[in-house]
Copies of this chain bind each other. A is one copy, B any other.
Amino acid sequence: MAQPVSFTKVKISSSFWDPHIQASRKESLPLIFSRLKSYGTWDAMRLKWKKGDPGVTPDILWDSDIGKYVEAASYALYHEKDPEMEAAVNDGIDMIVGAQQNDGYIGIYHTLVEPGKRWSSLAHNLELYGGGHILEAAVTRHITLGCPENDEFLEAMKKYVDLIFKEFGPGEGQRHDYPGHQEIELALMRLYDVTGDHRCVSLAQYFIEERGRTDPPREGHAWDIAARARGDDPDTFFPYYWPRPRCYWHMQAHAPIREQKEIVGHSVQAMYWLSSVVDVALATGEESYLDTVETLWKDMVDAKMYVTGGIGSVHIYEGFGPRYDLPNETSYAETCAAIGIMFLTQRLLKVRVDAKVTDVMELALYNALLAGISLDGKSFNYDNPLATVACSHRRSEWFKVFCCPSNICRFLNSLGGYLYGTDSADSTLRFTVHNYVGGEVTVGKSTWVVDTQWPWHGRTSLSVKEESEPIILRLRIPGWAKSYKILLNDQVTDHEVAYGYASLPARTYTPSDIITLTADMTAEYLIPHPLVHQNRGCLAIRRGPIIYALESVDQDPNIPDLRLVRVDGNAALVPVETAILDKPVICIRARGSVIEPLPEEKASFGQKDRVAKPVPERSVDLTFVPYFAWGNRGPSDMRVWMQESSIRG
């Protein structure tokens, strides 16, 4: 057990992270706000829209867009003043509070567009998802303001939550239903954290328990019951992103929680759900929940996760596919799903401090997640392919479903909350460092200073500004490091390793003490599991936590197509310090080759005994960039897994 150290106690000062965080504040958030304004999303919360008005009809998603902007900006404002952003946040809050109906309801769509149909399509219309995001916004705003006693926004949301306490539950006259897209469960648990109101836990648990249950007195699956009540026929009615009727698994509702053995369905939903399941397990002591979380987590990490930490391999439904089926060009690997991994790993680390968990957190953070925002903060990836062809993927300033941009800003401005944990061991304070990010953190009575060049160099030093109480320092040893060294004041120091974390003996640190961890960041080749047929005979490259990609913009102009490039698994991988759009990065150089198809053979297939000839191959220099940095320099192709040349002989 280790409680995460709150973002309020962490000050990031990192040559790596600061520019990303600054870009999110100075570019992304203003851009998102202006897009929400111009599209009509923002002002829809003023409830002026009427049927027949020109322009876009308010969408059920809009509450969440407003909520996520307000939340992300609240985090940003906690760290740095910005009067314009402050005004926007206050306007947003005033609108939300003003939009509350007498009974507590808040929701643009069901107030304006379909007022009689509240809660009628929970499984696919994101009504409680929107409610969850404005509730999270209120909780975050409350915390960033220092938890004031009179918080109008939080009070409004408490009234909203009172309504859903009344509306949903096992009682007679209550709705026996649950949200399709999990989110309110997470939000309720965050409200519980600040209010201690145990009804939040009960309702979150009700939603978790009810999900997928069909046993009497229920008359079938909640989806079917709600569909029939609306006048839809569940034999034929289903959302366009379901492959066929009754794909309950898409929302993890095909079976009750304790019966689920494989991670399936929408990947963002799955992460939000499992995060809330851990929260509820910890709040209630319901250990059986943790068994399910552990089973689904292992299934995901072993068989359904990309080498970038991305999850969700099926584009059409934004979700998990079969085990070991990891297509590169159509990987979904949604930015929000990588953020969901942050939520889940943050909670798993409360249960068990295990570097296997933190390694995944770090992998997703530096790769799948960070690829979701451009280096300048002005454009975003919704999905994150592992390879592109014909420059068919590009970052965008706008998506009709606008979830990822504000979500990544929300995450970047709360990154401090994902770095450290504290608990006590034998009554001694224990300070755990999960991720190595430069800055300061307050633990107990002292401030720790973390100095690191991570992820480019493996050396991190820690020191205290004031003498500490006796404290056990626990440092994560990255699973990728083939060797590491921990020094206290330049001397090798005793430590015990458990679950990939090194614990130093309890000690009272003084400002003259310096602890350093050095992890070997030698670049290396990765190979695929034989079942991942899309990567047969391929290699990928990793250095420290960074996964690399070949991007066409960096290559020899004589390479006409990255699909013709072959890498040599015996070639040296040479790190090179350079910069991409002013961002200092380490690229990797290696020798490889490019094959040349015979010009007369054009068809995508041919007869083996007629056309099989040795394909000419010539040697080339290849440059690999950090995966997160791809797609920042105009149209370009990219590839993470590259065919090994020795395969072709």
B307 and A330: CB pair below 8 A?
Answer: no
Closest residue of chain B to A39 (Cβ to Cβ) is B236
CA distance A607 to B329 in the complex (A): 23
A606 and B529: CB pair below 8 A?
Answer: yes
Fill in one digit per residue for A224-240: 1 if any B CB lies within 8 Å of its CB, else 0. Answer: 00000001110011101
CA distance A306 to B603 in the complex (A): 10
* Chain B residues with CB below 8 A from A643, complex form: 533, 536
B327 and A531: CB pair below 8 A?
Answer: no
A607 and B390: CB pair below 8 A?
Answer: no
Q: A231-B55, A396-B244 are in contact. Are A529 and B329 (CB under 8 A)?
A: no
* Chain B residues with CB below 8 A from A606, complex form: 526-527, 529
Segment at the B interface, from A43-51, A461-469, A608-616: A608-616
A 536-565 contacts with B by CB, 8 A: 536-537, 539-540, 561, 563-564
Cβ of A278 to closest chain B Cβ, rounded Å = 22
Q: Which of B240, B306, B533, B604 contacts A305 (CB 8 A)?
A: B604
A 550-582 contacts with B by CB, 8 A: 561, 563-564, 569
* Chain B residues with CB below 8 A from A39, complex form: 236
Is A524 close to B, CB under 8 A?
A: yes
Is A389 close to B, CB under 8 A?
A: yes
Fill in one digit per residue for A298-328: 1 if any B CB lies within 8 Å of its CB, else 0. Answer: 0001111111000000011000011111110
- Chain A contact-residue range equals 35 or more
CA distance A387 to B325 in the complex (A): 11
A398 and B563: CB pair below 8 A?
Answer: no
B569 and A615: CB pair below 8 A?
Answer: no
Instruction: State the oligomeric state as a number of copies.
Output: 2
Segment at the B interface, from A105-113, A333-341, A594-602: A594-602
Fill in one digit per residue for A380-403: 1 if any B CB lies within 8 Å of its CB, else 0. Answer: 000000010110100010101000
CA distance A605 to B605 in the complex (A): 29
Most buried by B among A304, A396, A604: A604
Residues of A within 8 A of B (CB): 39, 54-56, 231-233, 236-238, 240, 244, 301-307, 315-316, 321-327, 329-330, 387, 389-390, 392, 396, 398, 400, 480, 524-537, 539-540, 561, 563-564, 569, 595, 597, 601-609, 611-612, 615, 643, 647-648
14 pairs across A/B with beta carbons < 8 Å? A56-B232, A306-B604, A315-B316, A327-B330, A480-B607, A524-B608, A524-B609, A526-B605, A527-B606, A530-B563, A531-B561, A535-B605, A536-B647, A539-B608
The 10 closest A-B pairs by CB, nearest first: A322-B390, A525-B608, A322-B389, A302-B602, A325-B389, A533-B563, A307-B605, A54-B231, A527-B608, A530-B597
